[in-house]
Each structure stands twice: as C-alpha cells, then as structure tokens.
Chain A
Amino acid sequence: MSKHHDHDHEHSEIALRVEAIEALLTEKGLIDTKTVDEVIRFYEQDVGPLNGAKVVARAWTDAAYKDRLLRDPGGAIAEMGFGGPEASHLVVVENQPRVHNVVVCTLCSCYPWAVLGLPPNWYKSPAYRSRVVREPRYLLREMGLDLAEDVEIRVWDSSAEVRYLVLPERPAGTEALTTEELAVLVTRDAMIGTAHVKVPA
C-alpha cells in the first residue's frame, strides 16, 4: 500500500536520510560499506526460494530425506548447506490430498529466510496478515488457489521463533523428471501455501 502513497520527493528524502546515517555510522567505525554490500548481495543472490525448492524436490524423490525433513527440518536443510537466522527452529508442514497448509505472521512478517530468502511485499501486507487467518479459503481463491470444501485448511501463524515451510504436493505427470528438473517447478508461493506446484502446459 505504501507504493501508492510514496512520492518521488519522499523517496529522495528517505534515501538522503539513509545515506546520511550510513555515512555517520561509517565514520564512527560501526559499519563498513563492504560488509553492508555483502549482506545485500547475500540476500539478493545467495539465498532465495531456490534453496527451499531444492529441499522440496529432494523430499519428493528421496523418501529417507523426506522423513528426516519432517522429523528434523534444521538438520535436513543443513545437509543441503542451508541454515542461519530465521531457520533455527524450522517446522515443515506437509500438504496432502485433503490437507492444505498456509503460513503467515500476523504480528510482524516472520518468514523462513534460510530456505525462502526475504519475504515478498504481499506477505508483509496488512491485507494478507489480517485476512489469511480469518478467511483463508476465500483469500486463497482470490489469489488463484481454489480449494475444495473437503480440503482442510491449516493456517500457521508464526507468532514465536518457529518458522514454517510448506512441503507442497508433487504434481501428477512429473514421474519422469529428475530432482533438478522438479526443483525448477517449485515456487515460493507453493512453499508459503498460496499456490500449488504446477506443471507447465
């Protein structure tokens, strides 16, 4: 919603303010530009939904791994080289034909950074945070996921330091695909629970 309210003037004001803060903190020796750059690039390039997609695709093709992922998610993602903040207490919730899981943080915007990267704006929006707990079926339909009435919806509100990752269902018709090919199909939204994994037509 802020996008519609922000004007160029406000943008430049805030940009100038942030530049001033960074200059002052650098002069005080508290931060350095190189480290700030590295942090940004780490979250732009090194972590993102592809981490989670690799975890999901492996769980689909390796039953023993899936078992470990559900029992000890932190250990299972560490096997793939993933971890760090926002993943110390990871819980993986598995979609089934009659059970659909969807994740939110109504109080702020907690999100499993280590496997999904930083959250998209819509996940942080008041509309999503307010509505998905009250009317998940209606909202998911509005977002393009039409669930039958006999599918139980389980909403997970990340109100503490536990972080949730949805293990989506493997779509039919993907039996011949390799783990690498499957990972390409797994979207961020499917791992939040606002979409199914689809096979491109």
Chain B
Amino acid sequence: MNGIHDMGGMHGFGTVEVEPDEPVFHERWESRVFGMIQSLGGSNIDAGRHSIERLDPVSYLEKGYYGRWLAAFERGLSSAGVLTPAEVDARMGSAEPTASTASGEGRTWRPTSRNYVRKVDAAPKFSVGQNITTRNHQPGGHTRLPAYGRCRRGVIVRVHPAMVYPDDNAHGRGENPQYLYTVRFDAAELWGPGAEANTGVHIDLFEPYLELEA
C-alpha cells in the first residue's frame, strides 16, 4: 500500500538525531510491549507489519516505534477475540504495575528462530547479471516493493532461495513462496539527474515484482 511507512526518498524529515549511550528501551512500557509480543511468539510477521502500515499517517508518525507495535498488538488481540479495546479501557488505572520477578540469573527464555526459506519446484526465473525492470506493482495491501523502487531498471546481484511471499502471507492467502533477488539500482536511475555520483542502492525483491528489461 502507498502508506506513510514507505519512506525511502521522501523529503522533509530533517536531521538524524543520534542519542549517545542510548538505552535499549527508553520507557518501561516499551519494554513490556516488546516482551509481551516476543513471549507470545508465533505471530505472522507480514500481517504484523501490515497492521502497522494501516495506522493513519499522523498516528504512525506520532506514536513512535513501540507505540506502533502497541497499536498493532492491540488490533491483533481485538480481531482475534482475545481482548477488546473496551476491556482495556475499563481496566486502566486499576491494574497494579506487574512486579519484575526475574533476578537476571537462570534465564531460560530464548528466541525461536524463524526460517522463511521454502522449497519450490520451479527454477528461479532470473540470474546474476541480468538487467531487470521492476513492475508498476502497487497493491492496496501489503508489499515489500518500496515505491522508490517501482518501474526502475536494475541488475540482479544475488539470487536467494524462494521465501514466504509477504504480499500473500500478510493477507492469509498462504505462503506462496517466491524467489528473492538482491537488485542493484544506480542512484541516478532512482533519483534522477541530481543523484549522488558513485552510489547505488540494493533492494531485496521478490520475483513477481520483476520482469526482464525490454
């Protein structure tokens, strides 16, 4: 979808502010949101990303990273019938902050590794060194083709195995695995004559986003 999340190449966001010695979490609630989501596990990463993308643009920008996670988390809990927003509203203020119990020793939790590679029968359509053009692919739903990479000419620099296709997986249409390619684009192809010299951008793109250069 053509959402606010698709930021590559946008103007007007100002300088990058680097915070020295930044903590991993700035607020306790950020860590609780992160911890709850990770401990539940098993979520569909593509549906989760799409849920964040569907926030209205003002909220997306104002909420910040973990605020967006929280909004998507709540939406997921609500649509799964686990927790309604009204239940949360009613409970607010009467919940005691949960006491931290772990001493820091003897931790047993470990993240589970996810593997998105899937075996497919077909061979990859493209090979390293081929010139491709990206399609004018702009679905209303989820996609991982950034807007700045649409309808652009690039070169395949790496062929990855087939992986879960986010455009379908985000919408419950199955994993529909597709080959993934790393594609190199010259800056001038992406940004026009004012582009910085001696610069290129690599984007990881799924096979349905690409066609051979005419």
Contact indicator B7/A21 (Cβ below 8 Å): no
Determine if B49 is an interface residue (Cβ-Cβ < 8 Å).
Answer: yes
Q: A37 to B8, Cβ gap below 8 A?
A: no
Binds B, one of A54-62, A64-72, A154-162: A154-162
**Residues from chain B with Cβ under 8 Å of A155 in the complex:** 199-202
Per-position 1/0 for B163-191, Cβ under 8 A of A: 11010000000000000101010000011
Given contacts A11-B27, A159-B145, contact A22 B200 (CB under 8 A): no
Closest to B196 in A: A137
Q: Check B16 against A122 for contact (C-beta < 8 Å).
A: yes
B146 within 8 A of A: yes
Give every chain B residue within 8 A of A22 (Cβ-Cβ): 32, 36, 95, 98
| CB atoms of A84 and B87 under 8 A apart | no
A199 contacts B by Cβ under 8 Å: no
> B160 to A89, Cβ gap below 8 A?
yes
A127-B10 Cα distance, complex, nearest whole Å: 9
Closest A residue to B200 using CB positions: A154
Q: Which residue of A lies closest to B197 (CB)?
A: A149
Q: Chain A, 120-144, contact with B by CB distance < 8 Å: what is the 0/1 string?
A: 1110111111110111111100110
Nearest A residue to B116 via CB reads A161
Residues from chain A with a CB closer than 8 A to the CB of B180 are 160-162
Residue of A nearest to B70 (CB): A18
Q: What's the minimum C-beta distance from B180 to chain A, rounded to whole angstroms? A: 5
**Interface bracket on A:** 35 or more
A128 neighbours in B (Cβ, 8 Å): 16
| Nearest CB in chain A to that of B93: its residue | A16
User: When the two chains form their complex, are residues B82 and A30 in contact, meaning their CB atoms are under 8 A apart?
Assistant: yes
- In the complex with contacts A36-B35, A127-B15, A160-B204 CB distance below 8 A: yes
What is the minimal beta-carbon distance from A18 to any residue of chain B, in angstroms?
4
Q: How far is the CB of B93 from chain A (nearest CB, A)?
A: 6
A 86-135 contacts with B by CB, 8 A: 87-89, 91, 104, 106-109, 113, 117-118, 120-122, 124-131, 133-135
Can you list the 4 inter-chain pairs with the closest CB atoms, starting with the nearest? A106-B8, A2-B64, A36-B35, A38-B109
Q: Which residues of B contact A (CB under 8 A)?
A: 5-11, 13-19, 22, 24-29, 31-36, 38-40, 49, 52, 61-65, 67, 70, 73-74, 77, 82-83, 87-88, 91-102, 104, 107-117, 144-146, 148-149, 158, 160, 163-164, 166, 180, 182, 184, 190-191, 195-206
Given contacts A38-B107, A158-B204, A159-B145, 20 further A-B contacts (CB under 8 A): A2-B61, A15-B29, A18-B33, A22-B95, A25-B77, A40-B31, A43-B24, A46-B107, A89-B117, A106-B146, A107-B146, A122-B18, A134-B8, A137-B196, A142-B15, A153-B199, A155-B202, A160-B144, A160-B180, A162-B180
